[in-house]
Structure 1
């Protein structure tokens, strides 16, 4: 059976402080968690009952073994996760200084195992048949991962939205992985014609299609071939736009503990709503609420909410609860 959600790209061990509100050099103890945006999205979708898998690579080391164990714990298929003998499994540190300061420190130079995914090792049938294929801009930043991502997108069917199959690009631009914004924009332009949904914040959209208002950025994404453009509006919520519809989900106010996993929780819940066939407004509200729940918690993968938690907060805030959530 094809996977509901198949993601490709980053995986790491997140090393998060147990001490909140202090600089990283002053932290005295840490916890470790599965991390990496595409891997977290797979976990988030699995929490909503979806069959998920991730295509990635780890080091051939104890941290790699830990990530396999965590993926299986979260019911994510790890059969497309292979080891690279040369490069260690990356770790990512952060400081947690709510409500807005969560600096990240990536230990993945000059490269990382998940950037060693090659086109030759891809299971093209699994990619072609997955109901949702999810990738991020980071995977385009370096070879051989870039060619693998391009190959994967090329084999995806351009079925449109009616057939219930989606190719989603997370515009997750991180400057430390790129020489320039122009280099990133050039690679994004190669992928967008194969994408049905693009998701990003203002900065990420400006890297992809240039600066402008959220509506202008969404319109440029649609003109590039995307069928749903999702632009995150920060404290104003999130907007989704198609060629015939524009919807906005207002922010869900919570006490922020760690904002780093909210986008991945949003992504997994967004996939769930798309596959459930909900109206776009309900998809957006559900995903927005799922993201807010993770922002109110410490970790990322371990913090992904269940459908019951999302629908409970939706009801509490007076928003429409999907009937088949």
Structure 2
């Protein structure tokens, strides 16, 4: 079966605290989940009914096998999930201080498997995909930087590019604006928070002049701002009790792309994306929290979220 969308980039094991509002040094127990931009978005797309493949890499270790087993169980094509022979699978430990503080400690430097992806490891059918997802973290180090730009070239104007600015992962933060400009010029849609557009020295309205048809500025609980040929306008968010905001942006991206492929206009696509992000924010994890279409439908129809579950009536 043909892959409709590929997701390129960061994947690994996320260790989430079982004790909220607790510094990392005092957390006693963690639960492990698949995480990272590519892992989360691929899971989100699969749960929304899209045939999706991941382009990334893990280590030849238990965490890497855990990642593959979970993604395959979700229906993600893992034929381009490579195994690095010597590097260990990337890890991330997070703290959870609801509603808006979720520090992450990354174990990715000086390098990790997905930053070592080579151009020759891109799947042969990549150019045939209807969508490619990529993120700014893929541009942070070589050879991933060259591989990411090559993938964007193959899928130009069929790319959803998430700025995904994480300063701690860049050797030289001054590289980000120039590389972000190059990436967005190849995209169909560009997603990021207001601070990420600032870090990339991008004015959302100017991005359209580079080629993208849609720019979305995420504003958390306040929803999002659309910038397209019709101008700029806000789409309201969906209020939920927040447990962990990490992964909400990945759910947003997955729902946005799925809706656009289904023929939705930008406003409807962002409404669905806001709802998907809200559902994930009401849950502890990222990948396993990704919603399915009926949950998004129910929330938009007036449902509420209690204990991470969407309830109607």
TM over 0.5: yes
In structure 2, C-alpha distance between the alignment counterparts of 1:157 and 1:231, rounded to whole Å: 21
Cα deviation digits, residues 166-218 of structure 1 (max 9, x gap): 211100010011134321111112222211110000111112234xxxxxx22
Aligned to 1:205: 197
Change (3 A) 1:301 1:293: same
List runs of 5+ in structure 1 lacking aligned partners.
159-165, 211-216, 319-325
* Structure 1 consecutive aligned stretches of length 4 or more whose deviation exceeds 4 Å: none
RMSD: 1.5
Preserved contact between residue 250 and residue 277 of structure 2 (Cα < 8 Å): yes
Which residue of structure 2 aligns with residue 39 of structure 1? 39
Alignment: residue pair count: 304
Instruction: Give the superposition deviation at 1:235.
Output: 4.2
Give the equivalent residue in structure 1 for 2:280: 294
Matching residue of 1:153: 152
Q: Does 1:282 align with 2:268?
A: yes
Give the CA deviation at 1:157: 4.6
Deviation string 1:232-267 (CA, Å, 9 cap, x unpaired) is 124432011212344421121111000001001111
Report whether the alignment pairs 1:104 with 2:104.
Answer: yes
| 1:14 pairs with 2:6 | no
TM-score, structure 1 as length reference: 0.90
Match of 2:206 among 203, 206, 220: 220
Q: 1:83, 1:38 → 2: CA distance?
A: 15
Distance across 1 between alignment mates of 2:266 and 2:220: 19
C-alpha contact 2:38 2:56 (8 A) present in aligned 1: no
What are the Cα deviations for residues 3-53 of structure 1, in whole angstroms up to 9, with x where unaligned?
222010000100001112211111111110000112201100111111111
Assess if the C-alpha contact under 8 Å between 2:44 and 2:251 holds in 1: yes
Structure 2 gaps, min length 5: 305-313
Paired with 2:176 and 2:147, the residues of 1 have a C-alpha distance of: 16
Judge conservation of contact 1:247–1:280 (CA < 8 Å) in 2: no
TM-score by length of 2: 0.93
